[in-house]
Each structure stands twice: as C-alpha cells, then as structure tokens.
Structure 1
Amino acid sequence: MCNGRIEHIKLKNYKCHRSFESDLKKLTILAGENSAGKSSVIQALLMQYLVLGKKMSSINTLNVMGNNLGVALNLISPESVTGGFSIETTVDGVERILNYSVNETEEMVLDVQGNKELIKTELYYLNAERIGPRLANQIYNDSCYVGIHGENVIYVIEQMDKMLMSNPDISLPRDVEIAKIKRFSANVEEWLGIIVPDTKISTKVNVSQGIASVEYNTGGDFFGATATGFGVTYVLPIIVQALIATTKKNALIIIENPEAHLHPYSQSMLGKFLALIAENGVQIVIETHSEHIIDGCRIEMANTGHNEEMGIIFFSRSGGRYEHENITVNDVGELSSWPAKFFDQSMEDLRELLKIKLCKQ
C-alpha cells in the first residue's frame, strides 16, 4: 500500500484522449474549451480511485462517484485496437497501469486488470452540480465527506466540531486555523466571511428527524438558505471539505467549477484559499472556466514561493484533434505561455467594441 499524491497520469484510448499524459502538481488546474477532455481526466481519476482506493474489481459506468457515463463501449476510443482503454497513474514513484474492457455480459460494466496495489489516499469529489438553497437537507452518516453535491455539509460541520473537541490529535494547520475560537465551525465561518464578505452562518441538526438546516447572515438578521443567493450555498461545501482535508495525512480533492454563482472578487479569494489548502499538504485538482480562480491561485502561490507546486493543463480542440498544453507559473506569478482561447475573450471583445466605435465615428 502506498501513500502520497498522484504525480502523473496517462490515458490511452479513453474517450477523446487517444494519448494523454501529464504531471499532476499539488495544485492542478484543468482549463480550456468545452468538450475538450477536461471532465474525461477527472472521470479517469475517479475510476482509478474506485479500483485502487476502494478495492473495486469492476466499474459500473452508470455510477462513477455520481457520474452517469452511459454505455461502457462509448468510453473507448474508436481507434483502440485492444477494444479497451488504459489509465496509468504514478503514486510515490510507483506506476500502476489498469486496463479497462467491457464486460462480456453487462454493457454498463467495465472489467479491470492490472496492478491493483492499494493507495492510501482520501479522495473528496465535488461535482459541478451542487445543491442549491434548501430549507432543510437530509443527513447522511458520514462525518468527513460533504457529499458529491455538497448535500451533507451541515451535518459534517457539526460532526467535525465534535471530532476536533474530543480528539486533540486532530487539528487544523496553523495557516488555516484563523478563528479566535478553536472550533471547526468558527473557522468555516471565518473563511466564508473572507470569501463572501460579511457572511455568517448558523446551523441546526435534528438527528431524530434526519435533517439539517442552515441560516445565513449577510449584515443584518439571520435568514433561511432560500432567502440567500446561490453563491453562498455553492461555496460552503468547498470550504468545509477543503478544511477537513487538511486534517488528513493524504487527501485529494477534485472540484468542478468552484466559481459557480460567485462574484469575481469571491472567485479570486476562493482561488487564494484553495492554493493555501494545497500549500498545507492537500492535493487539489480544479476544473474551471474562471480566470479569477486561476489568478487567485497564482497570487497565493507566487506570494508564498510555492509557484512550482501549481500547474495548469489547457485543453483545446480543432478539426477533430484534441490537444493539451502544460502551463507553469514562475516566482512572480507569470504564466509560461498564453495559448489562443486561454482567457483571452475579454481582450477580443474589447477589440470588437473598439471597431464598432471607430466605424461609428
């Protein structure tokens, strides 16, 4: 059994990726065009975790950690000569190649062969489709995982308060523990107030009824979640799960679209927060369309001298070709390259507006 982070990933004949290979940093950002292969890399990481972390010998493609991938055959590149695909991950310098093929009798099942030596990593995955504001949420008996959609976040906050109070060996890192009160929920509220200014929370859990609820205060009285915007509800599970991950020895968080429903300022602050979490030992993979998330990460990493721990993989497609480019960050936060369509739309739109102005003069 190996500990540590995933250092490298290689895909062969998985969906649009005939051949994909890249290092994974402490903080890896997947960016680029729609339908260019970003989500496919995340799906591959999830499948590897189910096999290597959860001891699964086969994969049900209808439920890959909440993702319905459809018929197994559709996951295989048409150009595959083996009738399957492979995913290779390197952990602690040890390569694990797993070969996936369609089960002979079940079209929704992938059989897996290869080096299945277990990895001791806690994986937390937050889907792009997180739950919106609810008056109450059902609770699930998991004290450390907010759930794929963030549905268990309120119950987890209460359970983490109890866990940290009863176990002195579990604590938040010094850089992350910013609340004056050494309580998990107090630190959640402090970080929420930094990312979404002047926001406070009040949680209630009714175990006998199996429900949990939250109220928010954004400068006045406390109101139910349905009286507050989507942004706060969407970002709360990210903050909670990230803080929990810092208490684990080996943790990987995969987050899709963390920027959803957030103001650009909050997106930037969230980027800084996630970079700080990565600096405190958590491996993070982010799929995003937000330059503000990326810029926040760049600022934090450059400011603390951890820029080499951040990497961006930019995905693009043209004429049926799928390509990717690795972008690094230097010690002042500059990017090693700026490929076409990499967050250049604002400049393109300004050029077009300037042309309109000149034509009308």
Structure 2
Amino acid sequence: MIHSLRLQNFKPFEDQIINFKPLTLLSGLNGMGKSSVLQSLLLLRQSYQQRLLQRKYLALNGNLVNIGTAKDALFEGAKKEEIIFELIVEHQDIQTWTWQFKYNKQSDVLSSDIAPITDNIHGFSLFTDYFHYLQAERFGPRNVFEISDDLVRQHFQIGTRGEYAAHFLYVFGKFDINTVGIKQKDSHSINRVFERPGKSEINKLIHPQENSRLLNSQVKAWMGEISPGTNIHVDPIAGVDLMRLEYSFDMGKDVGISSRYRNTNVGFGITYTLPIIVAVLASPPGTLILVENPEAHLHPRGQAKMGELLALAASCGIQVVLETHSDHVLNGIRLAVHGGKIKPEDVQLNYFQRREKQGQAFTKVISPHIDRNGRIDRWPDGFFDEWEKSLYVLLEPAGE
C-alpha cells in the first residue's frame, strides 16, 4: 500500500507530501494538481513497463500518460533543475523509494543518479498486474468493443478507458469474485497477507440483495444501484476480434423476457460505470485502483452508491485512489463511514488549493479529517461547499 508520495519540482508542486490511506480522495478546483498526483504514479508504472525505470530512467510519454518534455514536467519556479519522486510504501515492510531525475529541457526521457534497488519494487502493486487505472475519458456507448486475450486473460486488465470491460466480463463472468484476477502462484501469498484468518474480507463486497458470488451476478446487482433491473449481455462477434455489449431491463411482469437493447441506445452512465464496477469486484486484496471522475454521467443517487462501493473495496484490502468533483461521491463515503462499512482512519481526504509565495504560484494540499459519524472537521473554501454558497444567496431577498 502507498503511505505517502512526496513530489518536488513536479508540475504545480514545489515540495509537497501527499498522504494516502486505503481510500484516498483527491479534490479541488480544476488545474490545481490532482491529475498531476496520478500522473506521477503513472509515469513510474509506464517507465517500469518500458523497462526504463529498472535502468534509472523516467519515460515522460507512453501508453498511460503523455507529459511532453522535461520543460513541461518541471515546476515553473524550481530553484534546482531536478524532479524528485519519493514513495513510502508498505511492501513486505515499510520502505522508502526515491528517484531524483536530472533536468534536460527538451528530453522526454529523464535519468536518475538516485534510484531504489529495483529488486525491491518488482512485486509492488503499482508495477504488477494487480493494478487498474480508469481515466476520466472512458469509452461510452458504442456498437462493438475490443478483445485482448493477452491483457484480459493473462494480465487481468480492463483497459485505461474500460475498452476491455466487456471482454473481461465474458471471460471471467462465471468466476467467484474471490478467485477472479488471482494468479494461481500468487493466491497463497495474497490470502496470507491481506485476508483475516477464517474470513475473506472480499465478502464485504457481496451485494446484500444477491446471494450468488459470481462476477456476472454481482456486477448486475451493483449496476442495479445505478439503473435498477439492468441486465448485461456480452457476446463475441463471430469472425472478428470484437465483443457485442447489450442491455435488457427487468420490469414488472416482463421479468426475464425483456428485449435486448443496443449499447448505443442506452444512457452513457451505465457504460461509463461498468468498467469501475468490474474492476472493483474482480480485484483481489492488494490491488491498487486509480479512478478519475467516477461520478461521470451518473445521477446523484448513483454517485453516492459509487462512493459506497469504492469505500467497501477499500475496506477489503484494495487501495483506491479517486479524483472527484462530486459531493455525492464524498457523501457516499461519509455514509459508509457512518454505517461502519469502513473505518474513518482508512479514509484520506486531500484538497488541492492554489497558493502564492513571492509572486510564484504553487499548489498546497489541505487534508480535512472524517470522524466515526461521517462528519468532517473543517471545510476549506472551495471544498465541496458550492451548494452551501448557492443556498446562502437563495435565502437572500431576490433583486429587483
């Protein structure tokens, strides 16, 4: 698990420590640096996948994130031309990993004289198959979706845009959610490290109204919180490496005999949400999940339920980091704390604010705390307070 990340001279951060818990929420106005935090982690992962990090190099461009050149990555007011990432993680024991990258203005690959011993990082979730990143711009409704036997069957990936979610559900839909995504050689160590004796924590993700533990059944049950009665149908298209994703709806007396609807004839919210639900339910303890804007295209109730689902995942040994602008997602998390579904000390709230010092703008992180009742101890200006500000104006007499 990631405990903290220190960023020095990276994008809007001069020198900032960001703390993480099992569930970490990143919030703030646009352009404050929330995405930069995720990008720093993605830069490390994509550099590892390109076999560059192991040789003390950082790839600024790749399949996960594209920064540009070192000039685009360096903090504008940097006093030293270097970019430093420091990760404190729990991996077998508490470890600190530091990379100190040298600045080269036009280069898109940076080198580091200081880097951790690479043998120590191979099994950490950020660098393994026990990782999902779902970006803000996910695949919406479309007639066909891609297939990737390598990424889905061998690496348990659903794609950064959710492009393989339908294929994943087709391959693993009839698996118990306790066994999806666990490689046989890893199952013993994962159970030993992340599960309590005699009880699998992942059982807390079982929907209370669905007895079946199969991934298909659980996805349907949780999707029902977004759109009640939704059935998901995934089928391969003969002769081509593509999947068809369709929906049907149980309504009244027509339960079980309703017609299928094309994906493109159903609202954006269902398709946008599907990859998140699949990723959460299919992830074993020890997985790291990064999600941008989980609230996209969802109505308020669905956003609150999404917050609850992500909180439940975090209570099961899955580390969840989400970037959100939704007070409903936050309230879903608060309700989960209030209901005892996740401990308050397992939730980290990080609010990003723009500050200025000696004429130089930089980003500062403020971390309100949540208590056992789901109450938050302080509300800095701009921290999910827009409704309160609007209500204050509405309570005043209307102008002429």
By the TM > 0.5 criterion, same fold? Answer: yes
Q: Does 1:230 align with 2:228?
A: no
Shift of 1:55: 4.8
Q: Deviations over 1:247-297 (max 9, x none)?
A: 2x4210000000000000000011001100111110000000000001101
Of 62, 71, 75, the match for 1:77: 75
1:286 aligns with 2:322: yes
The CA deviation at 1:166 is 12
1:149 aligns with 2:157: no
**Mapping of 1:257-276 within 5 angstroms?**
257-276=293-312
CA offsets 1:311-338 (integer angstroms, 9 cap, x no match): 1100111452422101121000011211
Partner SS state of residue 245, structure 2: strand
In 1, distance between residues paired with 2:74 and 2:169?
40
Aligned to 2:354: 317
TM-superposed deviation, 1:226: 0.2
Structure 2 unaligned spans of 5+: 188-199, 252-257
Instruction: Indicate the residue corresponding to 2:225 in structure 1.
Output: 194
CA shift at 1:352, angstroms?
2.4
- Identify unmatched segments of 5+ residues in structure 1: none
What secondary structure does 1:214 align onto?
Answer: strand
| Residue from 171, 174, 179 that aligns with 1:159 | 171
Structure 1 residues 135 and 79 mapped into 2: Cα distance closer, same or farther (>3 Å)? same
Residue 61 of structure 1 aligns with which residue? Answer: 60
Deviations 1:79-124 (A, max 9, x none): 33442210101112210011123468x7222224411431421221
Q: Determine the C-alpha separation between the residues in 1 that align with 2:383 and 2:392.
A: 16
* Aligned pairs for 1:327-338 within 5 A: 327-338=368-379
> Aligned partners of 1:276 and 1:286: how far apart in 2?
14
Question: RMSD in angstroms over aligned alpha carbons?
Answer: 2.4
The alpha-carbon distance between structure 1 residues 78 and 167, as it changes in their structure 2 partners (threshold 3 A), is: closer
**Equivalent residue, structure 2, for 1:137:** 145
Aligned mate of 1:45, from 41, 48, 70: 41
Judged with a 3 Å threshold, the aligned counterparts in structure 2 of structure 1 residues 283 and 207 are, in CA distance, closer, same or farther, namely farther
1:54 deviates by 7.1
Superposed CA deviations along residues 14-41 of structure 1, whole A, max 9, x for unmatched, are 0110011022000000001111111111
> 1: CA distance between counterparts of 2:177 and 2:390?
53
Number of the residue aligned with 1:177: 206
Tell me the SS of whatever aligns to 1:59: strand
Inter-partner Cα distance in structure 2 for 1:315 and 1:156 = 35
2: CA distance between counterparts of 1:208 and 1:172?
41
Deviation for aligned residue 1:237: 0.2
**Equivalent position SS for 2:233:** strand
1:10, 1:21 within 8 Å by CA — same for their partners in 2? yes
Q: For the Cα contact (< 8 Å) 1:268–1:295, is it kept in 2? A: yes
State how far apart, in whole Å, the 2-side matches of 1:103 and 1:334 are.
46
| Aligned match of 1:343 | 384
Q: Which residue of 1 aligns with 2:19?
A: 23
Change (3 A) 1:302 1:53: farther
Provide the C-alpha distance between the structure 1 equivalents of 2:336 and 2:178, rounded to a whole number of angstroms: 33
Residue type at the aligned position of 1:161: G
Q: How far did 1:356 drift?
A: 5.0
Query: How far 1:50 sits from its partner (Å)?
Result: 3.8
**Equivalent of 2:86 in 85, 88, 98:** 88
Check the 8 A contact 1:172/1:243 in 2, yes or no. Answer: no
Number of matched residues? Answer: 351
* Cα separation, partners in 2 of 1:6 and 1:134, compared to 1, 3 Å: same
- State the secondary structure of the residue aligned to 1:195: coil
TM-aligned CA deviation for residue 187 of structure 1 = 1.2
Deviation string for 1:111-160 (max 9, x for gaps)? 24411431421221000000110110121222221100000000001222
Helix, strand or coil for the counterpart of 1:258? coil
Q: Which amino acid aligns with 1:261?
A: H
Alpha carbons of structure 1 residues 36 and 155: separation in structure 2 relative to 1, 3 Å: same
Task: Tell me which residue corresponds to 2:131.
Answer: 123
Report the 3-state secondary structure (helix = DSSP H, G, I; strand = E; otherwise coil) of the residue aligned with 1:327.
coil
